[in-house]
Amino acid sequence: MRSERSAGFVVFRKDTRGLVYLLLQNSSKFFWDFPKGHISPGEGEEAAARRELMEEAGITQITPVSGFREQVSYSYTFRDEVIQKDLIMFAGEVPDERVVLSWEHSSFAWLTFDDARERLKDKKLAVLEKAHGFLSENLGL
């Protein structure tokens, strides 16, 4: 079994609806996800998360939330190979709604917590719930 490590951000901002979260829709599989991707050899977790955010959403300005780091592990099958994945997620606030999608994604949405919950599954849903709880409790958001 092959293993991989990825990192990303639960990206949020404030608007008239309150907190809204950025989700990206995968171009080929049509599922929704956070901006995230592989950690390159020698690259730090947060540096990888920032790089992936820039590559996938064109976002360069983000303020990470101190104290939030969530790691989840899961496995998936790719080309008949089972891959064990460790995903490290940070939470970060962006100043505006601008997004420039990469070829990997067909769409994006800024969603309330309840709407974002409907588009995520399993471990990624759990990450959103933990981030939302952390932000609500620690930042009063």
Per-residue model confidence (pLDDT) at position 19: 94
Alpha carbon of residue 138 to chain centroid: 20
Question: How many residues comprise the chain?
Answer: 141
Tell me the mean pLDDT in the region 63-85. 93
In 3D space, the residue among 108, 78, 7, 98 whose CA is nearest the CA of residue 48 turns out to be: 7
Q: Which residues contact 2 (CB under 8 A, 6 or more apart)?
A: 81, 82, 83, 84
Per-residue model confidence (pLDDT) at position 141: 66
State the chain's maximal CA–CA distance in angstroms. Answer: 46
CA-to-CA distance for 95 and 100, rounded, in angstroms? Answer: 15
Is the pLDDT at 130 greater than 80? The verdict is yes
CA-to-CA distance for 31 and 16, rounded, in angstroms? Answer: 26
pTM given for the model: 0.91
